[in-house]
Structure 1
Amino acid sequence: MSQKRRSVADEPHLVVRSAVSDHVDGQEIAEHRHDWHQLVYVRSGLMTVRTPAGAWLAPPAWAVWVPARARHSIRFTGRSALRTLYLRPGVGGYGECRALAVSSLLRELIVRATDVGMLDERVVAEAAMAAVIVTELPVDTRGVDVPGAEPPAAPTSSQAARYGDGPSAFTLPEPESPLMTKVAAMLDAGATLAAIAHRVELGVRTLERRFHDETGMTPGRWRRQRMLLRGLERIAEGATVAAASEVAGYESPSAYVAAFRTTFGTTPGTYFL
């Protein structure tokens, strides 16, 4: 459908903007930031949103929330159809990046909003659409900028402030310190926890505690999440589940699928079949 022409006079009344673009496998959008919140969604393919704090993956049926002014880049795996909404600060959302499950209603609202182009609070139907979009965001009061929202409980560590009880699905948080960043690289390379502890001259329990304090995950869970997501990236590229399970370090496709289902609640093929 054709989009309405907007003028400078309309700017103060816009509550949602949108953007549509298609991307090929391996294409990247360099690090940047926006003055508005961003709800990033792909109708097909897979995207990885990276910030200094970590990485958030989103296959179809998931999206990534990027708060206003947060620096981020986006990488696409497989042919990806990007549909992005920009929400004016103050209308709702989260204070940190999050991977979000997209309901069927929210999916249709995203598509409809991108068809319209921009939503104007003076137009009853468009204001209602914007309100329902915010309502359809998964309930989570951590960092929400909705007036009157209850503040989060006091965190026990820097990452607790960022993640609450732990990182959300399709999230791979980055450690904050150079030492734990080095540990993450060794975990990614397949080193055992005992070998890593020896290398960085820490006890295993101390290493586990410090890594958890910075990422919200144990080293074992972080590595498992990384490998599961690596396998998902291969499937998005067109690889078989058998090939993905090998890349992820599992002895069989069934073992990989079972581990993926335990972690994410569904099978990896659900998103790309």
Structure 2
Amino acid sequence: MRSPRIDKVDHLPRPVIGLGHDYADGFLIEPHEHRRGQLMNATSGLIVLTTPEGKWVMPPHRGMWIPAGVRHSVRAVGLVRMQSLYVETDRAEAMPLHCQVVEVTSFMRSLIGEVVGLSLDMEADGRSRALMDLTLYEVERLPSLPLSLPFPSDERLAKKCREFVGQPNIHQTIDDWSRELGMSRRAFTRIFRQQTGLSFVGWRQQACLLSALLQLSAGQSVTSVAMELGYENPAAFTIMFKRAFGKPPLTYLGLR
């Protein structure tokens, strides 16, 4: 699917504009921002969104809310078939002020598809306006999903976090990090929680989970991913994954 770029149609007097695009595996959209808020939804592939504040992973059939004015980059993992809604700021006041992965119901996916299918060359008629109003009503009610990884504001901590994301391992400890950073254990745990909203152990697990989603979507086996992250066996990894997401890895990603 190929639609015009949002900057070519952003001027249209519509509360929401729907566009569709396909992206090849590894395609990178460099850092940019939009005047409108954006809700992304992909029927295949996985999206990695990065901002100065953190990283988000959007598996297939989920959504990603990006507030207006947030600078972000986007990377495709696998063939991504994406549809996006661009929402005027005065119609997005009930939406989060930060990026958020959300659950997308089959009804919401149908609405997104209908809005993307609306002609951009004609003035919106009564049906189109009603459809857009209903879609915006439903957008506000999408439940959030725990698929974000916040980075601390402290530069040394943020650098260490980015290094860990590049090579995550479930066995790294608070003592390892605090010693390397020249901090006491108490100061490290206090600052880390203050700046990320998570304990170190919770953040470490989240980083490993998001890394696992990327690797599994790229075709690696559950066994390979589990071993690479430092789990003793695939069963231990699967238990942790199911505890976090409610389903085994391949089922969650729609690969089984």
Classify the TM-score, shorter chain. 0.7 to 0.9
Q: Is the 8 A contact 1:34 1:68 kept in 2?
A: yes
1:265 corresponds in structure 2 to 246
1:207 aligns with 2:188: yes
2:153 corresponds in structure 1 to 176
Structure 1 residues 125-162: Cα deviation after superposition (integer angstroms, max 9, x where no partner): 22222222222236489xxxxxxxxxxxxxxxxxxxxx
* Structure 1 segment 54-69 matched on structure 2, within 5 A: 54-69=54-69
1:18 corresponds in structure 2 to 18
- Could you tell me which amino acid in structure 2 is paired with residue 181 of structure 1? A
Q: d(CA) in 1 for partners of 2:217 and 2:121?
A: 32
Structure 1 residues 100-143: Cα deviation after superposition (integer angstroms, max 9, x where no partner): 111111111112211225599953222222222222236489xx
* Structure 1 segment 22-171 matched on structure 2, within 5 A: 22-92=22-92, 93-118=95-120, 123-137=125-139, 139=141, 168-171=145-148
Structure 1 residues 192-243: Cα deviation after superposition (integer angstroms, max 9, x where no partner): 3112212222221221111111111111111111111111111111222222
Q: Which moved more, 1:62-71 or 1:192-201?
A: 192-201
Report the count of equivalent residues. Answer: 242
Q: Is the 8 A contact 1:15 1:119 kept in 2?
A: no
Distance of aligned partners of 1:84 and 1:122 in 2 relative to their CA distance in 1, 3 Å threshold: closer
- Could you tell me which amino acid in structure 1 is paired with residue 131 of structure 2? M
TM-score by length of 2: 0.85
Q: d(CA) in 2 for partners of 1:57 and 1:175?
A: 18
- Could you tell me which amino acid in structure 1 is paired with residue 104 of structure 2? V
RMSD value, Cα: 2.7
1:244 corresponds in structure 2 to 225
- How far apart are residue 247 of structure 1 and its match? 2.7
Q: Is the 8 A contact 2:37 2:86 kept in 1?
A: yes
Q: Is the 8 A contact 1:120 1:126 kept in 2?
A: no
Distance of aligned partners of 1:62 and 1:117 in 2 relative to their CA distance in 1, 3 Å threshold: farther
Identity of aligned residues (%): 28
Describe the SS at the equivalent of 1:63. strand
Distance of aligned partners of 1:120 and 1:56 in 2 relative to their CA distance in 1, 3 Å threshold: farther
Q: d(CA) in 2 for partners of 1:177 and 1:104?
A: 41
1:219 aligns with 2:200: yes
Distance of aligned partners of 1:121 and 1:260 in 2 relative to their CA distance in 1, 3 Å threshold: farther
Describe the SS at the equivalent of 1:49. strand
TM-score by length of 1: 0.80
Distance of aligned partners of 1:120 and 1:169 in 2 relative to their CA distance in 1, 3 Å threshold: farther
Describe the SS at the equivalent of 1:77. strand
Distance of aligned partners of 1:11 and 1:196 in 2 relative to their CA distance in 1, 3 Å threshold: closer
Q: d(CA) in 2 for partners of 1:118 and 1:97?
A: 27
- How far apart are residue 272 of structure 1 and its match? 3.1
- How far apart are residue 64 of structure 1 and its match? 0.9
Query: Unpaired segments of 5 or more residues in structure 1?
Result: 142-166
Query: Unpaired segments of 5 or more residues in structure 2?
Result: none
Distance of aligned partners of 1:32 and 1:135 in 2 relative to their CA distance in 1, 3 Å threshold: same
Describe the SS at the equivalent of 1:94. coil
